[in-house]
Structure 1
């Protein structure tokens, strides 16, 4: 069925996409790559040790989308600290954790987005027709990660914080300027849901 991932014999998943759907997913993946940015050691190209020991940022990103993609590790934002000392300790732990993990997290998200772009490019130009995208088990996992990141990014732009916010999206009038973004958010959610079901044992 178009727009629905189905399991492949021996693992992996397949989905039928038309040229518009392929173009939308590819464009969103490229935008995600641009948002995440390049690797941490561009000046030390070819030096694996420099990359291995490069430290990431210790402060959370200012952009709300990046904040959603790379949240603080300690303490939920809505959970108030017990005291100023507790808040300071939480910030210190979060900064330390971020410093040593964010580069790897960014690399993983870049890899997932690149996998989406490459697999779509491998299909070639679909013209006005549809193409069957067949993914290996590893590519399926990368697509799942990328679809999740795309939904988080769009959700942050739409300021979706909980299920109530999602429900309100269904009631937006067609003339609302957020409507195209909402449609993309819901459509990606459907793709993600069917892909998850194909990967479940």
Structure 2
């Protein structure tokens, strides 16, 4: 992908597919996000801003600027939006509990907002907004809630990050692009 004058020199976006780990190298030999980026991204020290676990997909930003990485990952600083499929019947009580927060080994896990987008069989599609990202935050949050019909924990089957701050995912799975300078300005305005 050609870098043009209108492209940000500080941020690039990747649509991470499932099955890739977010790390520079993996001792288990698994595919990493750097397998999807040009060699120069690894060589020039482009680092992921936050994480998505191996089973998750969606928007992942990279930067060479530590201040940008810190600003985008500092708790309470930047909203991230996810679309998820949950196994189980998600009730209004579940949504209220997710917004209030549930205690876990990682501390309080909660969502800023949860919106039901639809259902299919015994699954529920949700849009979830958080402004911090503890390890496996959304999976653990919903896993702490029980399906009222079967008394089993809810389980996140599919998780896709679709937005970070003002930047929406707009590229195909496995593809990457630079943010434009205008997108960078909008994303970082007020954060740095």
Q: TM-score, normalised by structure 1?
A: 0.25
Structure with more strand by fraction: 2
More helix by share: 1
Larger radius of gyration: 1
Higher relative contact order (CA 8 A, sep 6+): 1
Provide TM-score, normalisation by structure 2: 0.26
